[in-house]
Amino acid sequence: MDYVDLRSDTVTKPTPEMREAMAEAEVGDDVYRDDPTLNRLEELAADMLGKQSALFVPSGTMGNLIALLVHCQRGHEVIVGNQSHIYLNEAGGMSALGGIQPCPIQNQSDGTLALLDILASIRTEDVHHPITRLVCLENTQNICGGVPLTVEYTCQVGELAHRNDLSLHIDGARIFNAAVAQNVSVRELVEPADSVMFCLSKALAAPIGSLLVGGDTFIARARHLRKMLGGGMRQVGVVAAAGIISLEQMTKRLKDDHARAKKLANGLRHVNGLAVDANSPYTNMVYLNLSTDVALSAQQITQKMKDLGVLVDAENARRFRLVTHYSIDDEAVEKTVSAFQKALN
Ligand SMILES: Cc1ncc(COP(=O)(O)O)c(C=O)c1O
């Protein structure tokens, strides 16, 4: 069956233009820095984000881990959101591989970390304490609804961090969605950050890959750590060719995904048995709950939806997350609304 797949924007497949560019990509051995296509992608990424350098990494998780390993030493502490991907969904890499301790603080419903909470979490000089070294933000904040953090807020956190001799890392897996939703440039949005990771393999539709961007010295050290983690690349231009199309073309169409997410949310608001979150969506994610009078669980509804040709993600027994992306067209949105109607009947 040709499924409508709303489980995530990670399910996107390379576009025909990407496949063509991949087939024709000029390549070389990237460990020697000889891959012209990858070199172009890294230069483009650094330029678009307004940083000195960029490093291609196979995944967002590896990009975040490398960033934390560059910023921190063993025994250091990182202030992170308690709903952040780094804290919840990266297999505890910072502790297991870096000896770094997370200091989780509450994500507010708008995805932010309260400035006073950040301030209160910075350790004082004391022989008993770990040393606070880094603050991490996530933009868009996935679990809080795919909500974008603003330029103003990011500047405030950057200022607070730097005033206290801390660095700021942004997990910007979906930073282009955040920029498009607020009509600002990505460059402006990440200006206060010392490092940023963003993903090509999500809404930007590349098959593999993320980029870590930052200063020259930071990226040189990151390159060394990537090698240590077994992430040295060879003829990676085959993949980078798709990433260039992600940055040059796919960033320009994200507003369509946001419009379709709105259309989907509006449709689902009329389905009995569903309660779409009040302000959802902010970007390409629609979050909704089953109403209390629905006896079936989200997992049972998920199976019924699958039988109707629509794949959705149950977050827990009552909650769903639906993500729009470039293969979700208007027809797919309509099919999803009508499948939910049938599944709940
Ligand atoms: C906010 C966020 N950060 C990081 C990642 C990790 O990316 P990857 O799956 O490429 O490791 C994800 C993955 O979904 C994510 O949603």
Q: What separation in Å is there between the alpha carbon of 325 and the centre of ligand 1?
A: 15
Sign of CA dihedral 91, 92, 94, 95: negative
Please state, in angstroms and rounded to a whole number, the distance separating the CA atoms of residues 244 and 238.
11
Q: Taking all residues of the chain, what is their mean pLDDT, rounded to a whole number?
A: 98
The answer to whether the CB of 60 is under 6 A from ligand 1 is yes
Q: What separation in Å is there between the alpha carbon of 3 and the centre of ligand 1?
A: 23
Judged against a pLDDT cut of 80, whether residue 333 lies above it is answered with yes
pLDDT digits (tens, 9 = 90+) for 103-146: 999 999 999 999 999 999 999 999 999 999 999 999 999 999 99
Judged against a pLDDT cut of 90, whether residue 340 lies above it is answered with yes
Q: What separation in Å is there between the alpha carbon of 60 and the centre of ligand 1?
A: 5
The answer to whether the CB of 173 is under 6 A from ligand 1 is yes
The answer to whether the CB of 283 is under 6 A from ligand 1 is no
Q: What separation in Å is there between the alpha carbon of 104 and the centre of ligand 1?
A: 18
Q: What separation in Å is there between the alpha carbon of 63 and the centre of ligand 1?
A: 9
The answer to whether the CB of 138 is under 6 A from ligand 1 is yes
Please state, in angstroms and rounded to a whole number, the distance separating the CA atoms of residues 36 and 30.
9
Please state, in angstroms and rounded to a whole number, the distance separating the CA atoms of residues 319 and 287.
7
Sign of CA dihedral 3, 7, 11, 16: positive
Q: What share of the chain is helix, strand, coil (3-state, %, to 5)?
A: 45, 20, 40
The answer to whether the CB of 171 is under 6 A from ligand 1 is yes
Closest C-alpha to ligand 1, atom 4: 60
Q: What is the pLDDT of residue 1?
A: 77
The answer to whether the CB of 142 is under 6 A from ligand 1 is yes
pLDDT digits (tens, 9 = 90+) for 230-267: 999 999 999 999 999 999 999 999 999 999 999 999 99
SS3 (DSSP) at 213: strand
pLDDT digits (tens, 9 = 90+) for 171-198: 999 999 999 999 999 999 999 999 999 9
